[in-house]
Structure 1
């Protein structure tokens, strides 16, 4: 158990250090090496099936879709659990991650590689909101849905399906050239930490309720 904790702490430190290095380079006006290596292929995507596919997928993480989606799913979780807490953690977690994303973007102040208003791609670039916020939103939704399931195969299927969806939404921002790859990676990293934090908060509250 201790070894696992040490490993998680080490990986977290490595991720944090990597993001700090990226931010330092960005503030110096430099492109991180990852972005230098991955910029050229982006110019080949427009007009292809890949671009069209990801241009459609990216809408599943855009604000015009996410606002009603979060509200409806929050109501659904309230009905499913017959309690307000799952709905609050889900909707509140999504909102907090959105606000945190806006805050970090304003602090890092990185320009996008391209502005695409119709794809909800305006403002600052680092970290990607589509990667960060959808990981929290869809991740929490998958977590609460599987809490009501008993079949291990069904649970695994839901987890894999949501993981693929989250990845596709996040990476779509690279393929339609509105984010650098480091923006997306940072969004996934920060979103994962947020997701773990919200799940921990929910389970902690549940344990306290069970003891009382």
Structure 2
């Protein structure tokens, strides 16, 4: 079978890229497993306690550091990772893609997000780690602690959608702005969960790892479909 130069070079370039993504996914998976094992063994408790207490007034642990407006800002930010907000974002994105005739992409985005939510719930149920009890909670919680659902789902939703949208942009500066904005939102949401005393820091780190793995898998599925002409955006 004859192989053209262009096909040969494309194949050669694709392999290192695929290996890079595979390696990144493996590193994230190892980090999540390591965190999970250490949490189960209780090895992260000292680290977790120190970080949470460092964000509180030593004279009054019910008082987070910073002025009242900053406290309220943290509540606003944490809401960006809530199930309601993420569900609205997912629903509107899927509807937009469907109406724009990108129906395969709409279906794939819906499956990615719904499956991520299911995975997050199963992980929480499986580990059943109690919420922090060092300080009063600054936000209402009703599930177990590990991993942080806000951190996991915000990483999945915001990073995946940002990566897909960034590919439709031609200017490198716009691509960087979109991805940087998504990462900043995800990081802020995770930090707000610790600041409000509703998650241990290790919960947030594990949530970021799990969400990033899911986002990476989702993005690779999208790229696979785009290369074969089955997905357009």
1:205–1:4 distance in 2 versus 1, CA, 3 Å = closer
- Show the counterpart of 1:96: 115
Q: Secondary structure at the match of 2:55?
A: helix
- Map 1:162-201 onto structure 2 (within 5 A): 162-201=182-221
Are 1:134 and 2:154 an aligned pair?
Answer: yes
Alpha-carbon RMSD: 2.6
Offset of residue 13 of structure 1: 6.0
- Show the counterpart of 2:54: 41
Are 1:25 and 2:23 an aligned pair?
Answer: no
Unaligned runs of 5+ in 1: none
CA contact (8 A) 2:160 2:216 kept: no
Offset of residue 135 of structure 1: 0.7
Please give the alpha-carbon distance, in whole angstroms, between the structure 2 residues aligned to 1:13 and 1:166. Answer: 19
CA deviation map 1:115-166 (0-9, x unaligned)? 85x9452110100011000111111210221122111111111111111011
Offset of residue 17 of structure 1: 4.4
1:113 to 110, 117, 132: 132
Greater shift, 124-133 or 198-207, is seen at 198-207
- Show the counterpart of 2:73: 53
Please give the alpha-carbon distance, in whole angstroms, between the structure 1 residues aligned to 2:210 and 2:55. Answer: 24
TM-score (structure 1 length as normaliser): 0.84
Please give the alpha-carbon distance, in whole angstroms, between the structure 2 residues aligned to 1:96 and 1:13. Answer: 17
Please give the alpha-carbon distance, in whole angstroms, between the structure 2 residues aligned to 1:122 and 1:199. Answer: 31
Unaligned runs of 5+ in 2: 1-15, 58-63
Please give the alpha-carbon distance, in whole angstroms, between the structure 2 residues aligned to 1:5 and 1:96. Answer: 21
Query: Which structure's residues are more often helix, by fraction?
Result: 1
Offset of residue 87 of structure 1: 1.9
Q: How many residues end up aligned between the 2 structures?
A: 205
CA deviation map 1:23-51 (0-9, x unaligned)? 3224xxx6534213313123331664432
